[in-house]
Amino acid sequence: MLDKIFKSKKKIKKEEIFSPLTGQLVPLEQVPDPVFSEKMMGDGVAVIPEEGVLVSPVEGEVVQVFHTKHAIGIKSVSGLDILLHIGLETVELNGEGFNVFIKEGQTVKVGDPLLNFDISFLRNENKEIITPIVITNYSDKVDEIVHVDQQAVSRGENLFVCRFR
């Protein structure tokens, strides 16, 4: 009887992360940059974009827009910190080829436009366009990520589900 009174019931929470891009889904381990592939920043996936439109993958608040416009940080309503990092070595472009639509402190919903980027320009500058989507506070909050079982995704489709404490 006392067992039932004192036994805590842990409710598993989860949050769906939707694709911010249309393109080919790639496991994070296959990103050609050890910071991402070895999950030093956190866990997630990557997308090789087919078009240069990035939208919000969650409902939340924009907490960081990098001055070089190549990356955006969003805190979801459930407290997940999500980094959207367009391409690799794109910081070197100092914002050229990117057009940002949002600002820090702004509230966003799934599918809200965040920025556009010129894929042709990035390729002409010899930049990799693969885009990691990383939960940076993964080890603090997330118990498990359940990935979708597909190779291609469209903006707004389910990308993965985070189950967390």
The catalytic residue positions are 85
Reported in sequence order, the residue ranges of the chain that DSSP labels E, i.e. its strands, are 13-18, 23-27, 43-49, 53-55, 60-65, 71-76, 81-85, 98-100, 107-108, 113-117, 131-135, 142-147, 152-153, 158-164
* DSSP H or E segment with residue 3: helix 2-6
DSSP alpha helices (H): ranges in 30-160? 34-37, 119-124, 138-141
Beta bridge partners of 158: 18
